[in-house]
Structure 1
Amino acid sequence: MESRTKQLIGFLQEELAIPSDKIPDIIQQCQNLNRLPVILWQQKLITIPQLDRVFKWLEGFIGSAA
């Protein structure tokens, strides 16, 4: 598993308390990471304030890949 995916999984588990059994399904549903926050919110796994945290985290995560 690539280190960036491990970072993403760590963030979802540690910072947002997303159950580890849900993460593979969520990642599989994402055609790209831009959909991740919406999918998490639609599945009622995060709140609106957490949604903002995910967007900010992804901005840094994606920005650091460029």
Structure 2
Amino acid sequence: MEHLHQSIKNGETVVDLETILQHKNGQLLDVEATLSPLMDHDGRTIGITGICRDISARKQA
């Protein structure tokens, strides 16, 4: 995880990261994530934005 955070801090976008997340109801979901740095006007990374997609059905197939 530290490697991912460092890559994003360096301005890189992480694409097609597969991981498992826990839904608030306790169910585990296979997800694919895209993480991108959120930059200020000076080009400094001030946060991370991400999109996660449930790929559980695809993994089961």
Task: Give the structure with the higher percent helix.
Answer: 1
Larger Cα Rg: Structure 1 or Structure 2? 2
State the TM-score, normalized to the length of structure 1.
Answer: 0.23
State the TM-score, normalized to the length of structure 2.
Answer: 0.25
* Higher relative contact order structure (alpha carbons within 8 Å, sequence separation ≥ 6): 2
